[in-house]
C-alpha cells in the first residue's frame, strides 16, 4: 500500500491539470453525444455496423453503464501509467514557480538476495544485511544443524534469515583423482590428500531429496542469487546436487553471482583455475553464473610461500582463459571484465590479509601467528551491490 501511495504522490503537482483535463473530456463527450443523437434523428438508412458500434441493441441504461465502466477503466490505466513519471517544479531564485521538469523513472527498492554458502561465507556477506530488503541464506545440506544454529546464533542481524535446503541432512561423498572416496567434510582434515582434487561429488541415500518450500520460494523471489564465498565442494556444490534447486535457479529471473575462491583448497580444488570453478558449477547446477567475481589483488611473496607449503595457490584470472573482452565504464570496484565459460568474470579488489593464530601441529598447546588472505566483508559487499545497482539501472 505504501508503494502505491508513494507512486501516486508523484502526481501531486499535476492535480489541477488532471482535473481540468478530466472535465474537458467529459464536456467533449457530452458534445459528441448530442451530435450523435442529432445524427441519428436526422439521417436514415445508416449502415448496420453503426448499430453495433453504438450498442443500439442494448437498453439505454445498460449502454450508459457499460460506457461509464469502460471510461473509468481507461482513465485508471492512464493515471497509473502517468504515475510512473516524476514531476519536479522548477523555481527561480525568488522562489516563484516557473515550470515543471518531467522525467520518466522506475521505482526500485533494495534487492532481495539469496545466498548459498557455508559458515565463513555467511559471516563475510552479513555486512550486506543492512543494505538489502532481505538476505536469505540456504545452509549446506550435509551439515544443516551445525551451520543453521551456528549462523543464527552468531550472525543474528536484521533482514538476514537462514534456511535448510532439505528436511533432513544428507551425506555428501567426494571422489578424488586417485579414486579414493571420502565424506566431503573430512577432505580438509587429512594432509595426506592435500595434492589431490575432487573429480566427482555425489549424494548418499535418497537420490531425489525434497527441496523445502521456503528454500524454493527464496530462490523464486530473489533479485540476486549469490554462490559463495566459501569452499566450492563443501559449501556451494552440495546444495546444487539437488536437482530441484538447480532447476529453480535456472528458471529464476534473478542474477546469479559466483564469488570465486581466493586460493585453491588442498584435497579439493588443487590446480583449479577460474574456468575450472565455473565448469564445476555448470556440471552440478546445470546453469552458468551470470557473473563471477575474482580477486585482483596480488598477494605478497611471503604469504604466497606460506600457502604454497600447504599446497595452495592464488586463484587469478589468466589471459589464456579469456573468451571475449568486455569494455566497462570506469568503476572503482572493478578493473575489467571478460567472458570465461559463458560467464562474465569481473576482477576486483575483494580481499585483505589478516593475522590468524593457529595451533602448532607439533605442540598443540602453542599457537603461532600467520598472515592469511581472506575475503574482505566490506569490499565484497560493495562490489556485489555496485553490480546489482548497475544491472537494475540498465
Mean pLDDT of 93-101: 52
Band (pLDDT 50/70/90 cuts) for residue 262 is very high
State whether residue 317 is helix, strand or coil.
coil
Task: For each of the domains in the chain, give its residue range(s) and CATH number, in order of start.
Answer: 2-104 (no CATH), 112-393 (3.40.50.10680)
Per-residue pLDDT tens over the stretch 31-70 = 777 777 777 667 656 666 666 766 767 787 787 787 778 8
Per-residue pLDDT tens over the stretch 164-173 = 899 888 899 9
Checking if the pLDDT of 261 tops 50, the result is yes
Q: Is 15 exposed, middle or buried (0-12, 13-18, 19+ CB in 10 A)?
A: exposed
Checking if the pLDDT of 200 tops 80, the result is yes
- Inter-axis angle of helices 60-82 and 15-42, to 10 degrees? 150
Residue with cell 442529432: 38
List the one residue out of 327, 380, 332 whose CA is nearest residue 352.
Answer: 380
H or E segment and range at residue 149: helix 144-154
Cβ atoms within 10 Å of 194's Cβ, excluding its own: 16
Amino acid at each position: 500500500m505504501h508503494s502505491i501511495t508513494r507512486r501516486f504522490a508523484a502526481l501531486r503537482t499535476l492535480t489541477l491539470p488532471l482535473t481540468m483535463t478530466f472535465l474537458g473530456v467529459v464536456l467533449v463527450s457530452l458534445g459528441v453525444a448530442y451530435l450523435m443523437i442529432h445524427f441519428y434523428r436526422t439521417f436514415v438508412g445508416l449502415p448496420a455496423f453503426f448499430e453495433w458500434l453504438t450498442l443500439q441493441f442494448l437498453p439505454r441504461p445498460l449502454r450508459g453503464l457499460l460506457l461509464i465502466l469502460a471510461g473509468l477503466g481507461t482513465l485508471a490505466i492512464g493515471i497509473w501509467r502517468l504515475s510512473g513519471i516524476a514531476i519536479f517544479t522548477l523555481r527561480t531564485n525568488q522562489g516563484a514557480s516557473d515550470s515543471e521538469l518531467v522525467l520518466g523513472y522506475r521505482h526500485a527498492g533494495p534487492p532481495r538476495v539469496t545466498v548459498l554458502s557455508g559458515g565463513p561465507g555467511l559471516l563475510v556477506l552479513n555486512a550486506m544485511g543492512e543494505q538489502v530488503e532481505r538476505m536469505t541464506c540456504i545452509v549446506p545440506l550435509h551439515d544443516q544443524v551445525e551451520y543453521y544454529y551456528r549462523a543464527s546464533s552468531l550472525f543474528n542481524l536484521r533482514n538476514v534469515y537462514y534456511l535448510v535446503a532439505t528436511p533432513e541432512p544428507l551425506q555428501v561423498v567426494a571422489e578424488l583423482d586417485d579414486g579414493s572416496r571420502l565424506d566431503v567434510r573430512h577432505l580438509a582434515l587429512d594432509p595426506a590428500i592435500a595434492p589431490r582434487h575432487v573429480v566427482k561429488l555425489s549424494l548418499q541415500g535418497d537420490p531425489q531429496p525434497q527441496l523445502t518450500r521456503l528454500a524454493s520460494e527464496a530462490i523464486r523471489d530473489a533479485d540476486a542469487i549469490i554462490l559463495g564465498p566459501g569452499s566450492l565442494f563443501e559449501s556451494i556444490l552440495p546444495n546444487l546436487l539437488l536437482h530441484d534447486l538447480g532447476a529453480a535457479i535456472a528458471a529464476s529471473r534473478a542474477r546469479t553471482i559466483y564469488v570465486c575462491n581466493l586460493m585453491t583448497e588442498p584435497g579439493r580444488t588443487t590446480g583449479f583455475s577460474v574456468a575450472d570453478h565455473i565448469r564445476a558449477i555448470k556440471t552440478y547446477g546445470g546453469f552458468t553464473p551470470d557473473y563471477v567475481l575474482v580477486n585482483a589483488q596480488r598477494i605478497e611473496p611471503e604469504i604466497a610461500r606460506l600457502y604454497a607449503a600447504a599446497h595452495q595457490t592464488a586463484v587469478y584470472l589468466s589471459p589464456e582463459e579469456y573468451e571475449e573482452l568486455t569494455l566497462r565504464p570506469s568503476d572503482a570496484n572493478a578493473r575489467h571484465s571478460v567472458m570465461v565459460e559463458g560467464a562474465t568474470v569481473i576482477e576486483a579488489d575483494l580481499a585483505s590479509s589478516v593475522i590468524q593464530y593457529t595451533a602448532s601441529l607439533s605442540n598443540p598447546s602453542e599457537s603461532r601467528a600467520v598472515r592469511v588472505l581472506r575475503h574482505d566483508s566490506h569490499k565484497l559487499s560493495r562490489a556485489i551491490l555496485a553490480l546489482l545497482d548497475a544491472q537494475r539501472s540498465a
